[in-house]
């Protein structure tokens, strides 16, 4: 379901003082080649989030976006060479996404 539809439905049902959290991505800051459509969608989520925060603010409904870093997943690996994967991993902070515990 599109983020805008979910936010709209949530805002109608949420009590005052509640929150909406939307998924985004830190990749919106890097302009990574081959991710144009994905990044455009996530940038749209961030803009909708900022607008919704202003619209729902008078009802004390907070609206935020969470932008996780690199997540090693089939979508992330798709179309990338081993060299690409090493480069992206080297740019990421240490932690579980990099296979570290």
Q: What is the 3-state secondary structure (H, E, C) of 11-76?
A: HHHCCCCCEEEEECCHHHHCCCCCCHHHHHHHHHHHHHHHHHHHHHHHHCCEEEEECCCCCCCHHH
Residues 89 and 52 in one domain: no
Q: Which pLDDT score is estimated for 42?
A: 92
Q: Which pLDDT score is estimated for 4?
A: 84
**97 assigned to active site:** no
What is the radius of gyration, based on Cα positions, of the chain? 16
Residues 22 and 39 in one domain: yes
Q: What pLDDT digit, counting tens, does each position of 17-70 carry?
A: 999 999 998 888 877 777 899 899 999 999 999 999 999 999 999 999 998 877
Q: Which pLDDT score is estimated for 6?
A: 86
Residues 9 and 42 in one domain: yes
Q: Which pLDDT score is estimated for 60?
A: 94
Residues 63 and 78 in one domain: no
pLDDT band at 101 (very low <50, low <70, confident <90, very high): very low
Residues 36 and 75 in one domain: no
Q: Which pLDDT score is estimated for 89?
A: 78
Mean pLDDT of 70-83: 86
Q: Which pLDDT score is estimated for 94?
A: 66
Pick the residue with more confidence: 3 or 96?
3
Catalytic residue among 4, 11, 35, 38: 38
Identify any residues that bridge with 21 across adjacent strands, giving them in sequence order: 64
């Amino acid at each position: 379901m599109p983020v805008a539809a979910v936010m709209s439905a949530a805002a109608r049902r949420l009590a005052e003082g509640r929150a909406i959290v939307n998924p985004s991505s830190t990749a919106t800051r890097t302009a990574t080649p081959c991710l144009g459509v994905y990044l455009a969608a996530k940038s749209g989520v961030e803009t909708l989030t900022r607008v919704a925060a202003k619209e729902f603010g008078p009802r004390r409904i907070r609206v935020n976006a969470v932008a996780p870093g690199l997540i090693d997943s089939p979508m992330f690996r798709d179309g990338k060479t081993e060299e690409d994967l090493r480069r992206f991993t080297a740019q990421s902070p240490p932690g579980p996404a990099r296979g570290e515990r």
